[in-house]
Amino acid sequence: MRNLIFMILLLCAPFVAHADLEVLACEPEWAALASEIGGEKIKVSSATNALQDPHYIQARPSLISKVRRADLIVCSGAQLEIGWLPMLLRKGNNPDVLPGSPGFLEASEYVIRLDVTLDNDRSQGDVHPQGNPHIQTNPHNILLVADAMTDRMVLLDADNAETYQQNLSDFRQRWTVAMEGWEQRAEVIQGKRVIAHHKSWIYLEAWLGLVEVATLEAVSGIPPTASHLGSLLERFENKGADFIIRAPFQSEKASDWLSERTGIPAVLLPLTVGGTDQATNLFTWFDDIINRLLTAGNL
Amino acid sequence: MRTPVLGILWVCLISSTAPAWAQNETEIDALRAELAQMRADYELRIAQLENRLDEAEKRATSQKTTTVQAESQETKPADTWQPDPYAEPISDGGNNASNPAIGVIFQGQAWSYSNDPDDYEIPGFPLGGEAGPLPEGLALGETEINISANVDDKFTAWLTVPIAIEDGDVVVELEEAWIETMTLPAGLSLRMGRFYSNIGYLNDKHAHSWDFADQPLVYQTFLGGQYLDDGLQLRWLAPTDLYLELGAEVTRGDKYPAGGSANSGVGSYALHLRSGGDVGFSNSWQAGFSYLQADAEERASGNEDDPLFFTGQTDLWMAEFVWKWAPNGNNKQRNFIFQAEYMWRNEDGGYTLPGTDPLPYDNDQQGWYLQTVYQPFPRWRIGLRYDLLSSDNPGQAYAGTPLMPSADDPRRFSVMADWSNSEFSRLRLQYTHDKAGFPDDRQWGLQYIFSIGAHGAHSF
């Protein structure tokens, strides 16, 4: 009898134990980063793609089964995913990835968050009291999260600790060089004034020294209104700004409308890896952001 | 920086102590000791001030210098996030510490009917539970208070308390009150308490997340609106790529379509099997089957003042299918939902009609609804819904009673339009042409739904 049980367990083993660390990223940038650190030792997928607004996706059945199987979940956090992640975690029945456990990594916990506020009055729109969650647009933050992510992978999969650490130091080297390049190229746009569709870019602005002078959304999270666009037109008719920027999933109507009337160039910037054809990985993503800004500004 | 500050402090100290020339040696010693103490104190405080200044400087420049920080081990970001150790404590010792997420949902409506809604009935389908038309005229809907929190590392709790107005009285109800495990192994979770059964697609959805102001006819007739009961629910999620969830429930059997807490208070069982997935980035679907077996003892239905009583067993089979489309999954811009459910039930037992002895009753009934909701651009949605019921003939003994179905199958057609300023507010207009009751009824409704405080994520 005991032998039989043992046999069954042995037969089941390949189905139960999995060699790879399964990583579920909430956003594509963390999936890309996980691939950099984990390489071939992990299996990674992203809950959202670059053309989706990560605030508003559905808690789809396919994502629930991904949560069920995940060993590590990596999300921006700071309430970015509040509309769907809690439901996935509740329905996913996986204690290993609940907040507070090593299998749950909230990236924004490891960086300096901007716009932290005690004011969560909803008349101000979709306010995130814990700070602006779009932390990925400053490449220095990517490096901080890379550290934290490596720690977690080492913790969860000690057998491959060396690989993860090796990959991290390799990534750090390449990333540091790349950042120097971006910062040099972007020196010419320091101090340029930006009108953003949504407050998705404040970390990019802080990094490159851009100045955000307005947003197309009058109230955060609520689509731009005609009256607000009218008042922006009045304010910026004489070119009081240098760029109007938006993410791929934000409608181009509002930025095009204002751009046509003010002559301020409207620029689409990838908010994450995959946001444009050029942004194929973490490196080309920032290349493309800088390229697009320089091109739009004729710099 | 330390030197000038210290110097100034020393001048202050000396000038303030100068007139107090010592009378004898012991006094001088005491003064020296005091001075040394003060000096130590000041140095400590200055060191503390400098620390705080350093902290502040670090924070201010961190955006530019994170590379440097990340590369040197002792300035890991976690360190810069230590709470300020010198800040005044903001806690009052814990007595008033409170963590539950609290949210309130405000609902209100105005309905107009061409027939008297008090006389509403569907021949062959006596209504039970919360089923039936919403009150005529201006009325407050349920004001729903939701409170939820994790109990500890293993359990989470949820409470829904609606405050309703019934016949002019304010009634506080207990709608949901459950505890759920978070850390069971093998993809299992157990819920206990009072909860909406997980059967069907719409049954466990709260009213504020419905796409129409009222429930489809199948829910109204077969489940009394929504099946809610006290008991246990076990859920298992398969560790497969394809979403596959199995659930089993055992409940008290106190609420329609059960009744009277039969079998010593273990009156109903339910099972559900649900699956779902994506087709590309733009499409996703969910499908499921459910079964409910409910024992009824003296279950009241029909006219409240003159009810019918059923004793026997209800077997209800349900099939659900939902397809959602949004270009690239961005449902905030544009989206489309197709949703359909089919239900079949058999009731076997006996009915006691007003003024009669129990009559045997064994009858099959079925029904379905099909609805689509389309959001052509942000904030605006339109929806269409078609409802149909049909019933076998329960026998000549029931001629002339509310249990005898009419020759035409009950049906209903609804159209709605709603506008949502944000995900926390919604205004809706709905028109229903009702051929379920008799005679045809034209129903117009206006509805608002607003939410403040914590608002849990919605399920698919």
pLDDT tens sequence across A52-108: 889 889 999 999 999 999 999 999 999 899 989 999 999 999 999 999 899 999 999
Strands A243-246 and B268-279, sheet pairing: unpaired
pLDDT of amino acid B209:
92
Contacts of A124 in chain B (CB under 8 A): none
Using a pLDDT cut of 70, give the percent of chain A over it: 93
Bond prior to B257 in cis (omega within 30° of 0): yes
Contacts of A90 in chain B (CB under 8 A): 156, 180
Type of residue numbered B430: Q
Across the interface, whether the CB atoms of A84 and B241 are under 8 A apart is answered no
Can you name the residues that pair with B236 across neighbouring β-strands? Answer: B188, B246
Of A60, A83, A147, the CB nearest to B70: A147
How near does any CA of chain B get to the CA of A238, in Å? 31
pLDDT of amino acid B33:
73
Of B63, B242, B460, the CB nearest to A59: B460
Cβ contacts of B355 within 8 Å, gap of 6 or more = none
Q: What angle do CA B428, B432, B437 make, to 5 degrees?
A: 140
Type of residue numbered A163: T
pLDDT of amino acid B119:
86
List the domain boundaries for chain B. Answer: 2-21+28-80, 101-453
Closest B-chain CA to A251: B333
ipTM comes to: 0.84
pLDDT of amino acid B42:
67
Average pLDDT over residues A138-150: 95
For residue B139 the two structure tokens come to 């009325």
Residues of chain B with pLDDT under 50: 1-3, 5-23, 61, 63-94, 96
For residue B265 the two structure tokens come to 């208070």
Tell me the per-residue pLDDT of A251-286, one tens digit each, with 9 for 90 and over.
Answer: 899 999 999 999 999 999 999 999 999 999 999 999
In a 10 Å sphere around its CB, with 0-12 CB exposed, 13-18 middle and 19+ buried, how is residue B149 labelled?
A: middle
Contacts of A56 in chain B (CB under 8 A): 330-332, 423
- Which helix (DSSP H) or strand (DSSP E) does residue B3 occupy? helix B2-17
Across the interface, whether the CB atoms of A49 and B67 are under 8 A apart is answered no
Task: Spell out the long-range contacts of B97-101 with Cβ–Cβ below 8 A and sequence spacing 24 or more.
Answer: B99/B149, B100/B147, B100/B148, B100/B149, B101/B146, B101/B147, B101/B148, B101/B149, B101/B453, B101/B454, B101/B456
Across the interface, whether the CB atoms of B243 and A52 are under 8 A apart is answered no
Token pair 């306010």 is at which residue? A127
Question: Are residues A297 and A189 in contact, defined by beta-carbon separation less than 8 angstroms?
Answer: yes
For residue A9 the two structure tokens come to 């367990």
Closest A-chain CA to B457: A83
pLDDT for A17 beyond 50: no
Across the interface, whether the CB atoms of A111 and B184 are under 8 A apart is answered no
Contacts of B245 in chain A (CB under 8 A): 64, 91
First-to-final CA distance of chain A: 78
Dihedral angle sign, alpha carbons of residues B220, B222, B228, B234: negative
Contacts of B285 in chain A (CB under 8 A): 61
> In order of start, what are the domains of chain A with their CATH numbers?
19-180 (3.40.50.1980), 188-296 (3.40.50.1980)
Global pTM reads 0.81
Average pLDDT over residues A136-145: 95
- What is B101-453's CATH number, 2.60.40.10, 2.40.160.10, 2.40.50.180, 3.40.1280.10? 2.40.160.10
User: Which is nearest to B124 in space by CA: B386, B408, B432, B442?
Assistant: B408
Q: Where are the alpha helices (DSSP H) in B72-193?
A: 77-80
Helix A139-156 × helix A28-38 angle, to 10°: 60
How near does any CA of chain A get to the CA of B177, in Å? 16
Across the interface, whether the CB atoms of A65 and B235 are under 8 A apart is answered no
pLDDT of amino acid B304:
79
Closest B-chain CA to A46: B281
How near does any CA of chain A get to the CA of B329, in Å? 6
Instruction: Give me the count of residues in chain A.
Output: 299
User: Which is nearest to B46 in space by CA: B10, B77, B83, B1?
Assistant: B1
Tell me the per-residue pLDDT of A157-211, one tens digit each, with 9 for 90 and over.
Answer: 999 999 999 999 999 999 999 999 999 999 999 999 999 999 999 999 999 999 9
Across the interface, whether the CB atoms of A143 and B66 are under 8 A apart is answered yes
